[in-house]
Amino acid sequence: MIGAGELVYEYPGKRALDSVSFLLPAASITALVGPNGAGKTTLLRCIAGLDEPYSGSIEIAGIDVLRHPREAHRHIGYLPDHFGLYAELSTRQCLLHAGRSRGLGGEALDARVVEVATQLGIVDKLDDKAGSLSRGQRQRLAIAQAIVHRPSVLLLDEPASGLDPESRAGLSELMRRLRSEGMTLIVSSHILAELEEYCTGMLVLQQGRVVEHRLLEQQTAQGTGRMIRLRLAQASTRLRELLAPHVSARTPLDADTQKASFEFSGGDDELSALLQSLLAAGLPVCELSVEQASLQDAYLRAVEHDRGGVS
């Protein structure tokens, strides 16, 4: 649904995107993560057809965004980090304006305005001026404007900013529902714990480059991406040697002579074989725990891996 090839974007004196390439499947939710200044907002604006890269290609649903931006815009909803609303218009008027600017009209638009306001929990604010809404309500109105035309692709830059915990939970549920309806989403956020609740993939940017792109759902289904924590009753100098062949190539082994933690690259059968081999070697294993690697763990390892000089 979304494809980028060798994207390069430069500001004076700085390369914001450096040969960025990826493919995102339809009906997926991708967490776009990285430190401040990594190029996340620039990438979203290029995908949305608002900024033109120096070189490279972008496609949305098979449409070349750089050659046919207006056609691509019909398929795209975009919520920037710093958005504006018409403060003197009512919530209803803001949504009507957003819909009409995207070619909608008539009774179908009127019904869609009520539908999307209900989805975002602001249907009781339809006749209130946008300027009178709370910070969280304005955020929900901005999201409603971005999806009023039923886009196939939704780009969200820090959508949870300013939302209270209840509203953030509602936003997570909305993301899952939009995906179930076939929408493809990219969500940029620093709140990794919340992204983990609904994202199916992760794209990590570091200094304008993609340092990791992984499919989280596929990883879970295959039983990979699991963190293993192991402890021995007595220290053994052989622990690291015996574990090394079983550690995922993505991440280093964190081990001393008595305890270890690592991302395991195999499934349940391989994990059982590993435990049996440790016991057969005489290692006094007294504790072994398995947990799915969190999005934050995966992100921090990807950034640390890149800082180590491996691209």
Task: List pLDDT tens digits, range 217-255.
Answer: 554 444 446 778 899 999 999 998 888 887 765 566 788
pLDDT at position 135? 86
Do 150 and 242 sit in the same domain of this protein?
A: no
Do 100 and 134 sit in the same domain of this protein?
A: yes
Mean pLDDT to the nearest integer, 22-45: 93
Question: Is 220 a domain residue?
Answer: no
pLDDT at position 310? 43
Do 95 and 53 sit in the same domain of this protein?
A: yes
Do 288 and 240 sit in the same domain of this protein?
A: yes
Q: Give residue-wise pLDDT tens across range 263-300.
A: 776 778 888 888 999 999 999 999 998 876 566 666 66
Map the chain to HEC letters: CEEEEEEEEEECCEEEEEEEEEEECCCCEEEEECCCCCCHHHHHHHHCCCCCCCEEEEEECCEECCCCHHHHHCCEEEECCCCCCCCCCEHHHHHHHHHHCCCCCHHHHHHHHHHHHHHCCCHHHCCCEHHHCCHHHHHHHHHHHHHCCCCCEEEEECCCCCCCHHHHHHHHHHHHHHHHCCCEEEEECCCHHHHHHHCCEEEEEECCEEEEEEEHHHHHHCCCCEEEEEEECCCCCCHHHHHHHHECCCCCCEECCCEEEEEECCCHHHHHHHHHHHHHCCCCEEEEEEEECCHHHHHHHHHHHHHCCCC
Mean pLDDT of the chain: 87
Residue-range definition of the domain harbouring residue 73: 2-214
Do 95 and 158 sit in the same domain of this protein?
A: yes
The domain total for the chain is 2
Question: Is 303 a domain residue?
Answer: no
Mean pLDDT to the nearest integer, 181-204: 87
pLDDT at position 252? 67
